[in-house]
Amino acid sequence: MTTVKSPLTDEARKVTGAVLQDSLIDLIDLHLSAKQAHWNLTGRNFRSIHLQLDEVVDLAREHADTVAERAVAIGVNPDGRARTVADRSRLHQFESGFLPDDKVVAAITDMLGEMGARFRERVETTDDTDLVSQDLLIAAAQDLDKQHWMFAVQR
Ligand SMILES: [Fe+2]
């Protein structure tokens, strides 16, 4: 059976792995939610929000890949299955059907704000367990905060 020898102690690997897994779920669901809004958006600001939502999709996909690959590198298998994400995600879920631009801006602002707060907690946690993972989480938090700002000012 394939295993990866972790560079971390058992306890540090366990804590860091859980943090990376929670981050992966957040990021996969952010990708899916931003695409749902990208497709179903309506309103005067359609064009700019439609394009900005794809920036969120891109950052979510990129950081999801980074945290998942870090998990494997420390000997923890990432779980990005749809059912796992659906069961465990804490993100706001959009209604089906068309989504007015003002509601999307408000919802995405809240989502990014809440996720940013969770990422900051994860940065704190990994301060004691794995500085390399912490670095990846800081980079993700930076991009989440930036998009949070750019949606919040459109409210
Ligand atoms: Fe598109």
Q: How far is the CA of 143 from the centre of ligand 1 (A)?
A: 20
1 has pLDDT over 80: no
Strand locations in 5-150 (E) = 41-42, 99-100
Q: How far is the CA of 116 from the centre of ligand 1 (A)?
A: 25
101 closest CA partner among 44, 151, 57: 44
Query: Distance (Å, rounded) from C-alpha 109 to C-alpha 5?
Result: 40
Reported confidence tier of residue 2, pLDDT bands at 50, 70, 90: confident
Q: How far is the CA of 39 from the centre of ligand 1 (A)?
A: 7
Q: How far is the CA of 47 from the centre of ligand 1 (A)?
A: 11
Displacement of CA 144 from its chain's centroid (Å): 8
Give pLDDT, residue 129: 98
Q: How far is the CA of 56 from the centre of ligand 1 (A)?
A: 12
Give Rg (Cα) of the chain: 16
Q: How far is the CA of 79 from the centre of ligand 1 (A)?
A: 26
Residues 82-91 as b or e (16 or more Cβ within 10 Å = b): eeebeeebeb
pLDDT tens column, 60-91: 999 999 999 999 999 999 999 999 999 999 99
141 closest CA partner among 125, 105, 117, 107: 117
Q: How far is the CA of 38 from the centre of ligand 1 (A)?
A: 7
Q: How far is the CA of 67 from the centre of ligand 1 (A)?
A: 25
107 has pLDDT over 80: yes
Give pLDDT, residue 3: 80
Q: How far is the CA of 32 from the centre of ligand 1 (A)?
A: 12
Q: How far is the CA of 24 from the centre of ligand 1 (A)?
A: 22
Q: How far is the CA of 149 from the centre of ligand 1 (A)?
A: 22
